[in-house]
């Protein structure tokens, strides 16, 4: 047993976002200011009381935590920042919960901002991609010497292996982005709202085969923020607390690849039949996959939804291809996923837009895209971390 | 990656004190991997110690240069100007007989003919006067 219990001790007290757009031509600091102000207003919290911050995607595309404290005149007792990857959303919320439990801060703004339109040099693949320059190679398999670049290429390696190993097809994978686009059509904040068909997906150009353009998320501008505080403090604020019941941290090692669970056989992973067993997040929260009313996942590429479903035991390895068909992951289906539209269609705010949507769903604020009676919502990712929230 | 030298238009490897023996061996047309003198493990990418037993008694020794394609992709989008003339070009992950996997380009095979599990062998590509790359081609039946 851990030395102290964190289940339901921390909560999201406020959630807010800037506008999202392909080319807003606004600075990341400006967008972050909108998101932080919106989250504080949502919580009914005066900005003077904000004393902690964690940023998961900073310069040169996003605004850094220390910059935001300076420019927005915030008096932070504690802040932290990850290097610029999308994978640290759950980590940030987990650290914020620990900061609050340990008395290092009372109200922690967790966020990311991105302004690709304010930044000329291509970062997501190509000569400007710092991942490819990492000693021992990039974390998504980047190896520029052979033209291997961009996070999507690593996802394409996983997709190919999945298709080969399980006999699944790109047309089956299309069910994921098709579903998320349907959700985005119900979301006025989403950037891409025009529904498309499986045929449209199949006809869209390859970026890195076997992934088509419509398997890729957006590159855009925007910011999103949630305020983490203790459950006690959250109960005194404007909106009902969104309790954090379960936490599972982000793993690393030779048996991990950012886009595949252990045993998958990409990079230096062993090859074996993965068994999800009981993932720690469920044990901590006291629920199982069957209790999840809606699932949110980091869908930078459509294949990541399949990997996440299998990693967390919603279905067995190889079964996600069939599991995601027939509307099962759509609003009204057995397991609605990314009902905001996801990174694929709402916006790519490093998963912070998903956290904002989860808070709004659990408060019943989502109108035509509301998951009826949503009480327990999970954030669970291909790379193995997770949060379980409830109202 | 290092700045391009001479006329070589593609990204060069980031050569470090750790991986230099690998790249130096390729220039001699040798394909080498590290080997643990304690437990015999072979691995890639280069490491300062054996990933299994953490022994520092490690050496660079010749490897088979044979393996199988474990996954592959085909780039249709331009990311590097130096690769533009080759679009659509393949990148394959090859699982070496010794166990580790590495990324490479497959040569001597059309992209449509690449298959999972395809047996391949190393071929030395003298990409520039000071740079040789380990690419792979389908193994010949007699090999």
Residue of B nearest to A210 (CA): B73
Query: A179 exposed, middle or buried (CB, 10 Å; 0-12, 13-18, 19+)?
Result: buried
Whether B4 shows a pLDDT value over 50: the answer reads: no
- The reported pLDDT for the residue numbered A1 is 63
- Rounded to 5 degrees, what are φ and ψ at B100? -70, 160
- Tens digit of pLDDT for each residue in A311-363? 999 999 999 999 999 999 999 999 999 999 999 999 999 999 999 999 999 99
Partner residue facing A209 (CB), from B74, B79, B95: B74
**Which residue of B4, B12, B49, B71 is the best one to mutate when testing the A interface, meaning the one whose CB has the most A CBs within 10 A?**
B71
User: Is there a contact between A94 and A228 (Cβ–Cβ < 8 Å)?
Assistant: no
The answer as to whether A162 is a domain residue is: no
B91-128 burial string, b = 16+ CB within 10 Å, else e? bbbbbbebebbbbbbbeebeeeebeeebbbbbbbbebb
Q: How confident is the model at residue A120 (pLDDT cuts 50, 70, 90)?
A: low
Assess B116–A contact: CB distance below 8 Å, yes or no: yes
Both tokens assigned to A376: 């327990």
Q: How far is CA A222 from CA A102, A190, A194, A207, A340, in A?
A: 31, 11, 20, 24, 15
Q: What is the mean pLDDT of residues A299-309?
A: 98
Q: What is the mean pLDDT of chain A?
A: 96
Pairing mode of beta strands A294-296, A376-380: parallel
Q: How far is CA A82 from CA A56, A111, A336, in A?
A: 5, 11, 30
Whether A291 shows a pLDDT value over 50: the answer reads: yes
Q: How confident is the model at residue B68 (pLDDT cuts 50, 70, 90)?
A: very high
Residues of chain B neighbouring A153 (CB-CB closer than 8 A): 73, 75, 91
Residue of B nearest to A131 (CA): B1
Predicted-complex ipTM score: 0.95
Helix (H, G, I), strand (E, B) or coil at B30: coil
Whether A390 shows a pLDDT value over 70: the answer reads: yes
User: Is there a contact between A360 and A202 (Cβ–Cβ < 8 Å)?
Assistant: no
Residues of chain A neighbouring B44 (CB-CB closer than 8 A): 268
What's the CA gap between B101 and B69, in Å, rounded? Answer: 9
- The reported pLDDT for the residue numbered B1 is 46
Query: A275 exposed, middle or buried (CB, 10 Å; 0-12, 13-18, 19+)?
Result: exposed
Both tokens assigned to A192: 């891409």
- The boundaries of the domain holding residue A306 are 10-120+217-390
What's the CA gap between A186 and A366, in Å, rounded? Answer: 9
Partner residue facing B77 (CB), from A135, A207, A265: A207
What's the CA gap between B84 and A142, in Å, rounded? Answer: 17
Annotation: CATH topology of B65-143: OB fold (Dihydrolipoamide Acetyltransferase, E2P) (2.40.50)
The answer as to whether A47 is a domain residue is: yes
Residues of chain B with CATH 2.40.50.140: 65-143
For CA atoms A193, A194, A196, A202, the dihedral sign is negative
Helix (H) or strand (E) holding B116: none
- The reported pLDDT for the residue numbered B15 is 94
The answer as to whether A133 is a domain residue is: no
Whether B26 shows a pLDDT value over 80: the answer reads: yes
The answer as to whether A171 is a domain residue is: no
Q: What angle do CA A334, A340, A343 make, to 5 degrees?
A: 110
Percent of chain A with pLDDT over 90: 92
Residue B17 backbone class (left: φ over 0; alpha: ψ -120 to 50; beta: rest): alpha
The total number of structural domains that make up chain A:
1
Stated length of chain A: 391
Neighbours of A380 (CB within 10 A): 29
The answer as to whether A204 is a domain residue is: no
Query: A46 exposed, middle or buried (CB, 10 Å; 0-12, 13-18, 19+)?
Result: exposed
Q: How confident is the model at residue B3 (pLDDT cuts 50, 70, 90)?
A: very low
What CATH number is associated with residue A58?
A: 3.40.47.10
SS3 of chain A: the string is CCCCCCCCCEEEEEEEECCCECCCCCCHHHHHHHHHHHHHHHHCCCHHHCCEEEECCCCCCCCCHHHHHHHCCCCCCEEEECCCCHHHHHHHHHHHHHHHHCCCCCEEEEEEEEEHHHCCCCCCCCCCCHHHHCCCCCCCCCEHHHCECCHHHHHHHHHHHHHHHHCCCHHHHCHHHHHHHHHHCCCCCCCCCCCCCHHHHHHCCEEEECEEHHHECCCCEEEEEEEEEEHHHHHCCCCCCEEEEEEECCCCCCCCECCECCCECCCCCCECCCCCCCCHHHHHHCCCHHHCCEEECCCCECHHHHHHHHHCCCCCCCCHHHHCCCCCCCCCCCCCECCCCHHHHCCCCCCHHHHHHHHHHHCCCCHHHCCCCCCEEEEECCCCCEEEEEC
- A125 with B13: Cβ contact below 8 A: no
**Which residue of A145, A156, A263 is the best one to mutate when testing the B interface, meaning the one whose CB has the most B CBs within 10 A?**
A145
Assess B10–A contact: CB distance below 8 Å, yes or no: yes
**Which residue of B1, B11, B118, B122 is the best one to mutate when testing the A interface, meaning the one whose CB has the most A CBs within 10 A?**
B11
pTM exceeds 0.95: yes
- Rounded to 5 degrees, what are φ and ψ at B33? -135, 160
Contacts of A320 (CB under 8 A, 6+ apart): A305, A306, A307, A309, A310, A314
For CA atoms A174, A179, A180, A184, the dihedral sign is positive
Q: What is the mean pLDDT of chain B?
A: 94
Whether B2 shows a pLDDT value over 80: the answer reads: no
Nearest Cα to B55, choosing from B42, B38, B43?
A: B38
Assess B62–A contact: CB distance below 8 Å, yes or no: no
């Amino acid at each position: 047993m851990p030395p102290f219990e964190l289940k339901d001790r921390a909560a999201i007290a406020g959630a807010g976002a800037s506008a999202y757009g392909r080319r807003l031509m606004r600075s990341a600091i400006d967008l972050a200011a909108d998101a932080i102000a919106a989250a504080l207003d949502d919580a009914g919290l005066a900005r003077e009381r904000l004393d902690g911050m964690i940023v998961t995607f900073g310069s040169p595309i996003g605004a850094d935590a220390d910059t935001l404290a300076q420019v927005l005149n915030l008096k932070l007792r504690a802040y932290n920042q990850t290097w610029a990857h999308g994978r640290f959303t759950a980590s940030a919320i987990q650290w914020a919960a620990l900061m609050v439990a340990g008395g290092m801060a009372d109200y922690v703004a967790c966020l990311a901002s991105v302004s690709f339109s304010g930044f000329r040099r291509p970062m997501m693949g190509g000569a400007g991609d710092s991942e490819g320059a990492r000693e021992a190679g990039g974390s998504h398999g980047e190896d520029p010497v052979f033209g291997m670049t961009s996070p999507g290429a690593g996802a394409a390696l996983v997709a190919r292996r999945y298709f080969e190993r399980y006999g699944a097809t790109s047309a089956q994978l299309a069910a994921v982005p098709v579903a998320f686009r349907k959700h985005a059509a119900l979301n006025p904040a989403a950037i891409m709202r025009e529904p498309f068909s499986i045929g449209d997906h199949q006809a869209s150009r390859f970026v890195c085969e076997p992934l088509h353009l419509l398997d890729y998320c957006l590159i855009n501008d925007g910011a999103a923020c949630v305020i983490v505080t203790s459950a006690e403090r959250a109960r005194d604020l404007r909106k009902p607390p969104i309790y954090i019941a379960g936490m599972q941290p982000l793993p690393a090692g030779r048996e991990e690849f950012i886009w595949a669970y252990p045993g998958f056989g990409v990079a230096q992973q062993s090859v074996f039949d993965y068994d999800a067993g009981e993932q720690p997040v469920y044990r901590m929260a006291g629920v199982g996959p069957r209790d999840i009313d809606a699932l949110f996942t980091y869908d930078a590429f459509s294949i990541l939804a399949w990997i996440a479903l299998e990693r967390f035991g919603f279905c067995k390895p190889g079964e996600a291809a069939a599991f995601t068909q027939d509307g099962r992951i759509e609003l009204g289906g057995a397991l609605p996923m990314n009902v905001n539209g996801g990174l694929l269609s709402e916006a790519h705010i490093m998963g912070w837009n998903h956290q904002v949507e989860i808070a709004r769903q659990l408060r019943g604020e989502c109108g035509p895209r509301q998951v009826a009676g949503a009480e327990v919502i999970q954030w669970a990712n291909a790379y193995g971390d997770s949060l379980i929230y409830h109202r | 990656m290092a700045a391009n030298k001479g006329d070589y238009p593609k990204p060069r490897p980031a050569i470090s004190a750790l991986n230099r023996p690998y790249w130096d061996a390729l220039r001699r047309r040798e394909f080498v991997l590290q080997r643990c003198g304690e437990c015999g493990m072979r691995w890639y990418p280069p490491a300062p110690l054996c990933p299994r037993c953490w022994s520092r008694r490690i050496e660079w020794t010749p490897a088979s240069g044979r393996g199988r394609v474990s996954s592959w992709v085909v780039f249709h989008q331009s990311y590097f100007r130096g690769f533009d003339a080759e679009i659509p070009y393949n990148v394959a992950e090859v699982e070496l007989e010794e166990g580790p996997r590495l990324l490479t380009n497959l040569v001597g095979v059309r992209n449509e003919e690449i298959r999972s599990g395809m047996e391949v062998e190393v071929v030395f590509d003298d990409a520039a006067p000071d740079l040789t790359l380990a690419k792979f081609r389908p193994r010949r039946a007699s090999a």
